[in-house]
Structure 1
């Protein structure tokens, strides 16, 4: 692996600030997308869940239909047995046989009553499930329409920004090669620890960018001399002077214009 070319502190500071501008631009693009990818994922989960629920409800209806058919078959069988036993009663030889057949008829009549009761209960269940199916279908239609809309929004944003984002990420990696590993690691560590992702900031009105803590005049002079990398004692951010920051902003604006 080739060693990185020795660069001056000023060149490092410029490269660091350029890297910050590139990464901040990527952050802006991702902020535009915001919560949309998560919203789309949640809606996709909702739609999948509702489809699964509909499948289970329809399977349940089929099972109940089979149960009703089974009970109807049982009724027909019981009716056939009643007819058979009634016919046999005409040819009995004694009361014991007659009473035995009467009990069989009564048992089959009870079987029919029980089966009819179950059929009624199953029909009530069918109506209840059909209501739930209608509600679920309405909800699914609503969620699917919402998902389509959100996907459209996301795809539009991705279409507008994907190319630029990829190009910026490649540039970020390229600029990192201009800075020694120690500084790159420090940059990423600071960037991960601060809320807005700003690891390198310019001095603004005597304070570090985005901070209310004043930088002592002597330190401001050192920063402006660009002889060493100086960090803000309060936030840990790397500091650059306003003139350098302005020059790099102009330079990077031209780069961003080409990439967008």
Structure 2
């Protein structure tokens, strides 16, 4: 079986620059979305947090309400005991029994006072928590409205660009397969180390694209010969000649138009 012919350096340079053009277009699409996905995520997290806070507040208010009911039941029981002990005092046989019943009555009266005190404290807590609930609901309403607006913006951009981005991601994978793994890894490493994601750039006016550092004439000749992969000694980017870049830009422009 005949061995598959290895791609020439020029073929690899063209595939590399095509990959760069595809990835740069993906970058443009994602930059168009900007910080919107993060903003939407932050708003969703905040809305979820506010809902959780309201749920906890609701549970807390229920517990306080149950505490108030419990204290009211205690007061009712204490009043019933006071009535019972007061009736018993009418039929005592000696002062010891009378004093004992009097102490029981006084104890129940103290229980009632303490329960009343707790009920007042609980009601203050309820009012404070209700204020927080009102503020939280207002905040939640405002955040939900903002989230709806931001989601609308993001959805509009996604509906315009998602199909193209998905197609471009597929093309990016296809073009990576045309290159050997070592070259792809080098490309990715350079791309991740530069702000604008440009790992492959053409020579423009004697300098590497986006740079002010002049490329020596002899190196420019070597780049134009397309016999080996050459990197810029200053930026580390892979360099291609302007003619190759122009040809590939035109080719990829037609491909992008069909996506």
Question: Aligned equivalents of 2:227 and 2:199: distance in 1?
Answer: 19
Q: Which moved more, 1:82-91 or 1:176-185?
A: 176-185
Correspondence for 2:123: 123
Structure 1 residues 147-187: Cα deviation after superposition (integer angstroms, max 9, x where no partner): 11111111111111111111111111111222222222221
Root-mean-square deviation over aligned CA pairs: 1.4
Counterpart in the other structure of 2:64:
64
Give a deviation string over 1:67-86, Cα, whole Å, max 9, x none.
Answer: 11111111111111111111
What SS is found at the alignment partner of 2:92?
coil
Structure 1 residue matching 2:6: 3-state secondary structure: coil
TM-score in terms of structure 2 length: 0.96
Is the aligned partner of 1:6 residue 2:23?
Answer: no
Q: Which residue of 1 aligns with 2:148?
A: 148
Q: Which residue of 2 aligns with 1:79?
A: 79
- Count of aligned positions: 258
In 2, Cα distance between equivalents of 1:71 and 1:177 = 76
Listed one character per residue, the Cα deviations across residues 192-236 of structure 1 (whole Å, up to 9, x for unaligned) are: 121211111000111101111110011111111222211111111
**3-state SS of paired residue (2:161):** helix
Of the structure 1 ranges 175-184 and 240-249, higher mean CA displacement relative to structure 2 is found in 175-184
In structure 2, distance between residues paired with 1:196 and 1:103: 86
Q: How far apart are 1:5 and its partner, in Å?
A: 3.9
Q: Who is 1:21 aligned against?
A: 21
Quote the Cα distance in structure 1 between the aligned partners of 2:15 and 2:205: 23
- Structure 1, residues 40-83: CA drift from partner, whole Å, max 9, x if none? 11111111111111011111111111111111111111111111
Q: After superposition, where does 1:186-197 map in structure 2 within 5 Å?
A: 186-197=186-197
Residue 22 (structure 1) shift: 0.5
Q: Does 73-82 or 35-44 show the bigger shift?
A: 35-44
Contact 1:4 1:180 in 2 (8 A): no
Shift of 1:4: 5.7
Identify the residue that residue 207 of structure 2 maps to in structure 1: 207
Structure 2's unaligned 5+ residue stretches are: none
- For 1:44, the equivalent position in structure 2 comes to 44
Instruction: State the partner residue of 1:231.
Output: 231
Give the structure 2 partner of residue 181 of structure 1: 181
- 1:150-169 alignment runs, 5 A limit: 150-169=150-169
CA distance in 2, matches of 1:233, 1:78: 92
